Amino acid sequence: MNIQGKSALVSGGASGLGAATVRMLVAKGAKVMIVDINETASQKLAQELGSSVAFVKADVTNTDQVKTAVAEAGNRQGGLHITVIAAGIGVAEKVLGKEGIHDLGRYLRVIQVNLVGTFDVIRYAAELMARNQPDEDGGRGVIVTTASVAAFDGQIGQVAYSASKGGIVGMTLPLAREFAREGIRVATIAPGIFDTPLLAGLPEPARVSLGQQVPFPKRLGQPKEYAALVQHIVENNMLNGETIRLDGAIRMAPK
């Protein structure tokens, strides 16, 4: 799919991987709706990038807000062709920890944001995409979701996070198979250790140490590299139903 002139939505688009994706899409000529709970960061990015970008505040765990956000993207931009889901959270907690067993509420919160929230955006976005006029390949839309290498190499203390990201990987193929009749492709990116706000609070030696765990290149991944893969997925019509690791060949140790 050609990005030029298309309408896009990026959840979690105010920072990190999502913000880099918003920048890429705008640079390629798309109109973009940022969907995020961080109003300040979203408005700042939208103002920086100009009239091609708008913002709607929404919590992906609130289905009414998700429905409204997707509808606003379609109404403002004349439909929806590209959806990138980058909103997510993590929690580090053992099932049998020193303070007791894993808190069920925190486990459910991670599943609700990362997995259920992703699915909710997908179902409303796909409904809107299905109304588009098909391109020369019969394509009407592209959905890119964000998993993690933790879906495959989950570490001790990542049981909730790994479960949520594994669920995203697991639904990628059945979604792609179902949406094939509508001309909507679905692909997932599983990033490794990236330089995002999640790691920004760590001391520099810790950040360097994490980067050194990557076989090559020995550094943290850059959000623009995630965005570059999003671009390729959108533009390459044969990428469908696949989860792509973007990790510098890292395989996470147990802890």
Residue positions annotated with a catalytic role: 161
Residue 216: CB atoms within 10 Å: 8
Residue 8: CB atoms within 10 Å: 29
Would strands 184-191 and 243-246 be described as parallel, antiparallel, or unpaired? Answer: parallel
Would strands 100-101 and 96-97 be described as parallel, antiparallel, or unpaired? Answer: antiparallel
Backbone angles phi, psi at 9, to 5 degrees: -130, 135
Q: Is 249 left (phi over 0), alpha (psi -120 to 50) or beta?
A: left
Q: How far apart are CA 72 and CA 56, in angstroms?
A: 8
| Amino acid identity, position 146 | T
